[in-house]
Structure 1
């Protein structure tokens, strides 16, 4: 082979290699928007493993922080430590969905140890030592408190919508009075159901468009919630359950797991996976479970 032929082959090989590299780079970038040259901001939703209880951290695209519930009292230090590990020392909005001990117990430690700027409360009164200690800490720290109103939008970051869907009613139980929220960032929607029951689900179905990619399953997977009728409206891709292993409540109920599976949702639980972190740019998302990331690409078109 002469030098000209060798030169042609080397040139073709170089062009082919560059083309393959470019294609690979585009495929890798699709989930982050880098293929279009766009530096898209991300939102993080952390479902913290607090055992038998609920606690969710939201880090918004513009750096604001929200904490929704704090788990039981025994989880308070875990939540504070977790927040600090995520670089969170100040909470812009703290939400207490309802006064059950497995939701507000850990908030007592959070309020003691971190700077909380504002609290959103259900307004439900509960005559327990834990509830009154929660109120005492708020008073001692002189933190502004607002009672949530249905359909109101919580102002925390203009890039996201954080709307109240269910609020306290005098004749309802703690669970039925739970605050339900929709958290929306561009094309990604989260439905956070606290501990509401089927009665509230029916009201929500009639009032709101509930379709969401992510469903925080109500009441730790109790049979009192998450009906098939409700799931038909939500159409969740992913379902998150927060509960402890071998709890004496029987959570999650096998019927609820079956309902979620029939709805086509992939199920994640803090009992099995530990802390669960969803990161999204509004079009795609990663789910970080026990250090393993899974990328799901969604077109912005």
Structure 2
């Protein structure tokens, strides 16, 4: 028993000695942080440290008291300057006896107002939900009392979102939309607003003409069903007044574009409303050649997260010598036709 007790005492002394040797090298290590540093707990004065003073150990065994520099704090998203809320631009009323087309600035979305020389009013899309009151503001600025034709190109929120507000605030006489549905509350709100106004939706598809005096308005697409691909379901409208013409494409993408070309739809136009906010999924080289526009308008929001419009599309338009206007840089874009000549104006 005495032998065992003696062995235990010797072991304790050996361990204590070992710890003493380690202590002569490091000043009470304790728990280190991410920099390898810690605060001193014991034997501090021996190493020129105060109790609780932060320090860390260099590779050569020396001690440094000054903490390493920390990288600058990253800017939190909440610290970024919020963008100003979108407001309606101040617009000039349409000219009498001319066709006036307003590519409305509604941020990241689409909304186009058309006033014909005969006095009829057409609205294509209404931007996002929050754009509804802004679109109504635009229409009231322009003296619109009622809308002869309202077109929903497809159920995406940034196109159909504001249309329920328009239906509630203004008298709408007819509604056109492709025969495709969606399960979102935004689209349901649109359908409910149409029903509440006692209207039924007329199908927008290739070959359907809109009965309006003084202009030729006919849908070039969609030419077929596209399943769950809502963009390719987009109603594409060709509008001609005298010798001038426009093509409004919604978000139609390359597949729908190819189908319209194959169906020999009337596509040639002086002004192209560029598909899908300038995404590279639309405005294929073949489609641009078929339309052969002199002017193009891109409806797009400043600083959008999609990277619209894409450089590929801007370069393609430039190579084709197309004069391009953008709502994110110019605000609302206005095109006026007297039947022979086109003039453009912007608010910025």
Q: CA deviation at 1:202?
A: 1.2
Cα distance in 1 for residues equivalent to 2:293 and 2:248: 12
Q: CA deviation at 1:83?
A: 0.3
Distance 1:197 1:170, change over 3 A: closer
Distance between the aligned counterparts of 1:191 and 1:132, measured in 2? 28
Q: CA RMSD in A?
A: 1.3
Alignment match of 2:152 (pick from 81, 96, 101): 96
Matched, 1:86 2:109: no
Distance 1:125 1:236 in 2: 32
List alignment gaps of at least 5 residues for structure 2: 1-95
Give the ranges of 4+ consecutive aligned residues of structure 1 lying more than 3 Å apart after TM superposition: none
For residue 6 of structure 1, what is the aligned residue in structure 2? none
Question: What CA distance in whole angstroms lies between the structure 2 residues aligned with 1:204 and 1:141?
Answer: 33
Give, in whole Å, the separation in 1 of the partners of 2:287 and 2:205: 22
Select which of 192, 196, 202 maps to 1:140. 196
Name 2:279's counterpart in structure 1: 222
Aligned to 1:158: 213
For structure 1, the 5+ residue unaligned runs are 1-39, 292-301
- Give how far 1:88 is off: 0.3
C-alpha displacement of 1:172: 4.8
Equivalent-residue separation in structure 2 for 1:149 and 1:245 (angstroms): 31
- SS in structure 2 at match of 1:194: coil
Q: Which has the higher helix share?
A: 1
Residue of structure 2 equivalent to 1:35: none
In structure 2, do the counterparts of structure 1 residues 208 and 147 end up closer, same or farther at CA, with 3 Å as the change threshold? Answer: closer
CA drift of 1:41 comes to 2.5
Which residue matches 1:242? 299
- Find the partner of 1:257 among 290, 314, 333: 314
The 2-side partners of 1:111 and 1:153 are apart by: 22
Q: Deviations over 1:84-132 (max 9, x none)?
A: 1100021011000000000010101101111111100112110001011
Deviations 1:7-42 (A, max 9, x none): xxxxxxxxxxxxxxxxxxxxxxxxxxxxxxxxx931
Aligned to 1:183: 239
Is the 2:126–2:132 Cα contact (8 Å) retained in structure 1? yes
**TM-score (normalised: structure 2):** 0.70
* Counterpart secondary structure, 1:277: strand
Greater relative contact order (Cα 8 A, min sep 6): structure 1 or 2? 1
Aligned to 1:10: none
Distance across 2 between alignment mates of 1:65 and 1:204: 26
The 8 Å contact of residues 117 and 144 in structure 1, kept in 2 or not, is answered as no
Which stretch of the first structure deviates more once superposed, 225-234 or 246-255? 225-234
Aligned positions, number: 251
Question: Normalised by the size of structure 1, how large is the TM-score?
Answer: 0.81
CA distance in 1, matches of 2:131, 2:324: 23
- List aligned pairs for 1:1-301, cutoff 5 A: 41-155=97-211, 157-167=212-222, 169-206=225-262, 207-290=264-347
SS at match of 1:176: helix
Give distance in 1, aligned partners of 2:201 and 2:286.
35
